[in-house]
């Protein structure tokens, strides 16, 4: 495969039905009205020279290289900014324009270092290309005059350099930062000859607002903004199109390599999810795949206190099989199970659940989606009939009111956030429902119409109050409801009760009634109202109720079944949707069909052989409980770090310690591996062949960029374990696994690797009714027939603030880090987030004597940890916030066993805590500085250890010495 260069039509597409016919250099071409002359020419096969134009950006008309002549018009207009007109005759190559272009190029080159042979962009430089295209043969102006050749290079960013000596001031980077990314960190500073790209007033890129999405690097036509990896390794020579393994947006990338060495990841323009955009993680943070911490050989040990012993694959697989069967012989068939990962491919996840059901002979399989979006699966299945979001990402471009609930898209789902911000800049209204003032509330050219800053755990009270307004103020879309839904009357009576009025819920949620009423009216009256939500909805004891509450509200307002509307979960990990689709829950076979359904089991029994259990198995938290009570003794953990990511870690580690056999498959010896008896090295996404399914149900191909460095594919390892246990499982390649999935899953019957290679990607359902997939669901009717209104009573969480634990902790993530940080902590991204910090309100800090940067102890009734304080008014007083990206912090040491009533999704978002200075008062304040990039205080190891098994009162007493 060679280096893939996507076509660039110079200016963006202008979608429209009306077409006009033009003639370019004698060639007839019909294009949509509003298309630029440059794009029309490109569609006719004629590339007009250009430097400041590219089809991801609006035309700018500054470089003057794309001038043309048009019959009947005076002068030489820029083809990028001139729209076509019917009957127009354009000439792109005339002596006049050729002379002009040569003159322009001569001026550009007169202020450009002529170091092409040693320049990192050699061979990939549009300035170099255009000099050739326009036939530049001489530069009459010497370097004696004023120039920019000595401009200082900015190497502050860990991933790319900024060399202003090579800048041609085309503004593509500035425009990309604004138009594509929506950050507006860059500007052109100065005027005329002094014009220069600047990331802020006398700031470096690293100190600026830049979020390192790479859009500017992508847009730069020269080597001014250049990946450090290209500088170090050279220009790549071949491309493989694959899918990012970070968040649930599922961006398509060209992995660009020299031989087998990955040089850079470049966002793919034809990627359905990202359409050529990227974020700092997917674009740059791939170095973990080659990090020295990776393990390549299997290892075993008898006890977790023993040292690891490297073994051959056969011995490792044999050990797993033998010990699992031994446990079953002593404790019964249901004494073992597995946890699959949303980071793995659909094919890998499918074979894990098949191994559990067919080889283990039970349903003890769960996925890490349990701890993030299991309430989405439950809630949307109950109301709409399908456990998935309703829209594609493109849909947001049609939304008029966007309601973001419990999500922080600019940090968690940055590439989708850029789409959303573009729509908001175009005039869509924004409602943010979040205890924390996320960046979206107020960012460049965006300001939320309403920020409902509710107290953590009161989502359901707020959504019920919004529904109250809709029902009692006559804002219901009766036509939609009467045609499409059932259960409305009972639900409407419930939400109309006085206790659900905004005035009544204000005391619960803290959201002013008038503001809530205004927000509800705004959403209900919108032509298209769309809901986007995240873990701030699901990770509550009422997570499933809230999902149903949002679905109720959308149905009541007729906001389902077309572009611009919907109820849209923003999935955390790359394959959360897919892992759920593939039957990873203990109560569901692939395609969300309950194990008690005889007809469904029969399908799988006929294919797999044997008899499948009709009873649900253990969910992840239930596995831990069963391990401690002795009935669950063996666990296979596939690509998940439960000893860092799951709540109430003392409980988790006690469960792991109680097991006879823990098998971990991962890239690294993670926290869970400390409790493992067998370690099976995993493959990075660059070594995988398969598919991921993103948050919009889009199935994307994951293509192996290189062979697995462990010598085996992960799906092969799972199959070999099953086979060693006496249940033969074998596939010659992963496409065969997808073929099997398609043969047993009604929503996947049309899916195959061939189809994906042909279409690029496809959104399920993909079957005879929708052979090319389904971008928007529930268009004419809901999957379950009628949309079902479900009464959503507000039940307060059991987690209550007390005098001893008066604050509420809520958790989240940050742009540069991902999940438990196993990947991003092993990349240059640590430059932005070297440690987790505790954000707390100035008032809460002041009364505790806490200053910005001080080390503080965070304690709940189950445990405590130590981290650095960051004073911030993003949260209201009484609420503190942290991330969970670093194991040294162990934020989940303090989170509790509370969980969603329907799915056991942990209540990460609500923990009653106390915060105090990490050292007793009177011992001298040694508050460290808080400069960016500063490493954590070395004395951290001297901080108090976790106290999970202590009496909670004593733990609290210890903390309160500094604050009582």
Partner 1 sequence: MTGSVPPERRMANDIALNLGHLPGESAAEAIAGHIGRFWDPRMRSRLLAYVDAGAEGLHPLVIAAVRLLR
The answer to whether residue 939 forms part of the interface with partner 1 (CB under 8 A) is no
The 8-class DSSP code of residue 245 comes to S
B/e letters for 805-831, b = 16+ CB within 10 Å, e = fewer, are bebbbbbbbbbbbbbbbbbbbbbbbbb
DSSP symbols for 365-418: EEEGGGGTTHHHHHHHHHHTSSSS-S--GGGGGG-SEEEEES--HHHHSHHHHH
Binding to partner 1 (CB under 8 A): which residues in 344-363?
363
Does residue 650 bind partner 1 (CB under 8 A)? yes
CB nearer to partner 1: give 329 or 493: 493
In DSSP terms, which residues pair with 241 in a beta bridge?
254
> Quick one: which of 334, 391, 459, 568 contacts partner 1 (CB under 8 A)?
334
Taking the C-alpha atoms of residue 64 and residue 57, their distance in angstroms, rounded to an integer, is 16
Q: List residues bridging with 871 in a β-sheet.
A: 840
What is the C-alpha to C-alpha distance for residues 89 and 851, in angstroms, rounded to an integer? 69
Residues in the interface with partner 1 (CB under 8 A) total: 39
- At its nearest, how many Å lie between partner 1 and the CB of residue 617? 5
Closest separation in Å from C-beta 201 to partner 1: 51
Asked if 233 interacts with partner 1 (CB under 8 A), we say no
CB 576 within 8 A of CB 329: no
Beta-carbon-side half-sphere exposure of residue 127 (alpha carbons within 13 Å): 28
The nearer residue to partner 1, 289 or 618, going by C-beta atoms, is 618
Examine residue 942 and tell whether it contacts partner 1 (CB under 8 A). Answer: no
Binding mask 744-783 for partner 1 (x = CB under 8 A): ----------------------------------------
Distance between CA atoms of 341 and 338, rounded to whole angstroms?
Answer: 10
The correct pick among 171, 340, 545, 672 for binding partner 1 (CB under 8 A) is 545
Of the candidate residues 235, 628, 770, 877, the single one contacting partner 1 (CB under 8 A): 628
CB 481 within 8 A of CB 558: yes
Among 569, 621, 681, 734, binds partner 1 (CB under 8 A): 621
Cβ 912 to partner 1 shortest distance, Å: 13
Considering the rule CB under 8 A, would residue 626 count as an interface residue with partner 1? yes
- Give the nearer residue to partner 1 in terms of CB position, either 224 or 545: 545
Residue of 466, 618, 738, 915 that binds partner 1 (CB under 8 A): 618
Q: Is 329 in the site for partner 1 (CB under 8 A)?
A: no
Sole binder of partner 1 in the list 243, 559, 574, 622 (CB under 8 A): 622
**Burial of 401 by CB count in 10 Å (0-12 exposed, 13-18 middle, 19+ buried)?**
buried
| 499 binding partner 1? (CB under 8 A) | no
Q: How far is the CB of 382 from partner 1 (least distance, A)?
A: 11
For position 625 contacting partner 1 by CB under 8 A, the verdict is yes
Decide if residue 464 touches partner 1 (CB under 8 A).
no
How many other CB atoms are found less than 10 A from the CB of residue 45? 10
> Which C-beta is closer to partner 1: that of 67 or that of 612?
612
Measured from the CB of residue 650, what is the shortest distance to partner 1 in angstroms?
7
β-pairing, 160-162 with 446-447?
A: unpaired
Site for partner 1 (CB under 8 A): which residue of 287, 318, 616, 760?
616
Chain centroid to CA 910: how far?
22
Closest separation in Å from C-beta 377 to partner 1: 12
Interatomic CA distance for residues 586 and 576, integer angstroms: 15
By CB under 8 A, tell whether 331 contacts partner 1. no
Residues 6+ apart with CB under 8 A from 218: 56, 176, 266, 267, 276, 278
Which helix (H) or strand (E) segment holds residue 892: the answer is none
Residue among 252 and 364 whose Cβ is closer to partner 1: 364
Q: Which two tokens stand for residue 878?
A: 């009484």
DSSP E strands in 718-791: the ranges are 761-763, 787-788
> Counting contacts by CB under 8 A, is residue 816 touching partner 1?
no
- Provide, rounded to whole angstroms, the least separation between the CB of residue 364 and partner 1: 8
Shortest distance (Å) from residue 456 CB to partner 1? 17
Q: What is the smallest separation between the CB atom of 798 and partner 1, expressed in angstroms?
A: 8
Give residues with Cβ within 8 angstroms of 111, minimum separation 6.
147, 148, 149
DSSP string, 16-51: -S-EEEEEETTEEEEEETT-BHHHHHHHTT-----S
Nearest to 380 by CA among 553, 567, 540: 567
- Which of these segments, 130-138, 275-283, 428-436, 618-626, binds partner 1 (CB under 8 A)? 618-626
The 407-446 contact track toward partner 1, x by CB under 8 A, reads ----------------------------------------
As measured in angstroms, the least distance from the Cβ of 594 to partner 1 is 7
DSSP-H helix ranges across 748-848: 753-759, 842-847
Residue 221 token pair: 């036509």
The reply on whether position 648 binds partner 1 by CB under 8 A is yes
Contact stretch for partner 1 (CB under 8 A) within 33-41, 296-304, 352-360, 613-621 = 613-621
Asked if 328 touches partner 1 (CB under 8 A), the answer is no
Beta carbon nearer to partner 1, 792 or 882: 792
- The C-alpha angle 951, 912, 468, rounded to 5 degrees, equals 145
Binding site for partner 1 (CB under 8 A): 334, 363-364, 494, 541-542, 545, 586-587, 594, 596, 615-619, 621-622, 624-626, 628, 631, 648, 650-651, 791, 793, 795, 798, 862, 896-897, 899, 901-904, 948
């Amino acid at each position: 495969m060679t280096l893939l260069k996507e076509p660039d039509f110079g200016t963006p597409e202008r979608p429209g039905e009306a077409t006009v016919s033009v003639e370019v250099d004698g060639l007839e071409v019909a294009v949509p009205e509003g298309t630029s002359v440059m794009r029309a020419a490109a569609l006719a096969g004629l590339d007009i020279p250009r430097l400041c134009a590219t089809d991801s950006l609006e035309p700018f008309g500054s470089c003057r290289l794309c001038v043309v002549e048009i019959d009947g018009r005076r002068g030489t207009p820029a083809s990028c900014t001139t729209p076509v007109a019917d009957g127009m005759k354009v000439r792109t190559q005339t002596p006049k324009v050729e002379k002009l272009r040569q003159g322009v190029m001569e001026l550009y080159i007169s202020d450009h270092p002529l170091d092409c042979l040693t320049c990192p962009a050699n061979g990939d430089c549009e300035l170099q290309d255009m000099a050739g295209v326009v036939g530049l043969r001489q530069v009459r102006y010497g370097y004696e005059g004023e120039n920019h050749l000595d401009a200082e290079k900015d190497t502050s960013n860990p991933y790319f350099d900024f060399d202003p000596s090579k800048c041609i001031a085309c503004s593509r980077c500035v425009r990309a930062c604004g138009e594509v990314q929506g950050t507006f960190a860059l500007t052109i500073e100065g005027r005329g000859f002094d014009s220069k790209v600047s990331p802020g007033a006398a700031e470096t890129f690293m100190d600026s607002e830049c979020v390192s999405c790479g859009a500017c690097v992508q847009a730069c036509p020269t080597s001014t903004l250049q990946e450090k990896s290209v500088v170090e390794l050279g220009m790549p020579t071949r491309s493989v199109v694959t899918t990012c393994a970070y968040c649930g947006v599922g961006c398509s990338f060209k992995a660009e390599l020299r031989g087998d060495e990955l040089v850079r990841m470049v966002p793919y323009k034809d990627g359905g999810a990202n359409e050529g955009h990227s974020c700092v993680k997917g674009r740059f943070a791939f170095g973990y795949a080659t990090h020295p911490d990776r393990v390549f050989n299997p290892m075993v040990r008898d006890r977790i206190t023993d040292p690891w012993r490297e073994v051959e694959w056969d011995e490792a697989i044999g050990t797993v099989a033998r010990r699992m069967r031994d446990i079953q012989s002593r404790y019964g068939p249901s004494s073992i199970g597995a946890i699959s990962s949303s980071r793995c491919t659909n094919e890998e996840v499918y074979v894990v659940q098949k191994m559990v059901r067919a080889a283990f002979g039970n349903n003890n399989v769960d996925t890490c989606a349990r701890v993030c979006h299991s309430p989405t699966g439950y809630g949307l299945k109950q109301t709409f009939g399908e456990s998935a979001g309703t829209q594609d990402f493109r849909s947001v471009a049609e939304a008029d009111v966007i309601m973001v609930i419990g999500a922080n898209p600019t940090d968690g789902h940055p590439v989708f956030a850029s789409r959303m911000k573009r729509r908001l800049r175009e005039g869509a209204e924004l409602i943010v429902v979040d205890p924390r003032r996320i960046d979206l509330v107020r960012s460049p050219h965006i300001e939320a119409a309403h920020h409902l800053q509710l107290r953590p755990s009161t989502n359901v009270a707020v959504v019920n109050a919004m529904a109250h307004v809709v029902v009692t103020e006559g804002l219901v879309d009766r036509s939609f409801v009467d045609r499409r839904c059932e259960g409305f009357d009972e639900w409407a009576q419930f939400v109309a009760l006085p206790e659900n009025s905004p005035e009544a819920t204000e005391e619960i949620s803290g959201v002013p009634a008038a503001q809530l009423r205004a927000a509800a009216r705004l959403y209900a009256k919108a032509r298209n109202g769309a809901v986007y939500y995240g873990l701030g909805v699901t990770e509550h004891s009422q997570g499933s109720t809230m999902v149903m509450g949002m679905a109720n509200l959308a149905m009541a307002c007729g906001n389902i079944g077309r572009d611009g509307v919907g109820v849209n979960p923003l999935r955390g990990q790359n394959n959360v949707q897919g892992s759920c689709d593939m039957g990873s829950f203990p109560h569901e076979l692939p395609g969300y069909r309950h194990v008690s359904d005889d007809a469904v089991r029969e399908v799988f029994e006929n294919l797999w052989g044997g008899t499948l259990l009709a009873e649900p198995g253990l969910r992840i938290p239930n596995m831990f409980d069963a391990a401690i009570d002795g009935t669950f003794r063996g666990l296979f953990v596939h690509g998940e770090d439960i000893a860092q990511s799951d709540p109430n870690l003392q409980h988790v580690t006690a469960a792991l310690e109680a097991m006879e056999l823990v098998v971990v498959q991962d890239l690294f010896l993670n926290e869970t591996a400390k409790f493992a008896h067998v370690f099976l090295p995993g493959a990075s996404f660059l070594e995988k062949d398969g598919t991921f399914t993103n948050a919009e149900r889009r199935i994307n191909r994951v293509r192996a960029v290189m062979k697995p460095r462990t010598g085996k594919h992960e799906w092969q390892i799972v199959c070999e374990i099953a086979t060693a246990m006496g249940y033969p499982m074998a596939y010659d390649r992963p496409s065969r696994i997808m073929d099997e999935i398609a043969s047993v899953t009604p929503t996947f019957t049309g899916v195959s690797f061939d189809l994906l290679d042909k279409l690029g990607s496809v959104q399920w359902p993909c079957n005879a009714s929708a052979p090319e997939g389904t971008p928007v669901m529930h268009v004419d009717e809901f999957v379950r027939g009628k949309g079902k209104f479900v009464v959503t009573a507000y039940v307060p969480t059991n987690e209550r603030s007390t005098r001893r634990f008066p604050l509420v902790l809520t958790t989240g993530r940050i742009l540069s880090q991902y999940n438990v940080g196993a990947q991003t902590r092993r990349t240059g991204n640590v430059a932005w987030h070297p440690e987790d910090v505790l954000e707390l309100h100035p008032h809460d800090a002041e009364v505790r004597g806490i200053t910005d940067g001080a080390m503080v102890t965070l304690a709940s009734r189950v445990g405590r940890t130590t981290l650095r304080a960051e004073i911030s008014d993003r949260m209201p007083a009484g609420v503190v916030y942290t991330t969970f990206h670093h194991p040294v912090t162990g934020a989940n040491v303090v989170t509790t066993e509370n969980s969603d009533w329907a799915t056991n999704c942990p209540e990460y978002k609500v923990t009653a805590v106390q915060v105090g200075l990490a050292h007793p008062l009177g011992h001298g304040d040694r508050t460290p500085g808080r400069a960016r990039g500063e490493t954590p205080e070395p004395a951290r190891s001297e901080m108090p250890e976790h106290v999970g098994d202590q009496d909670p009162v004593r733990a609290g007493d210890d903390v309160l010495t500094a604050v009582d």
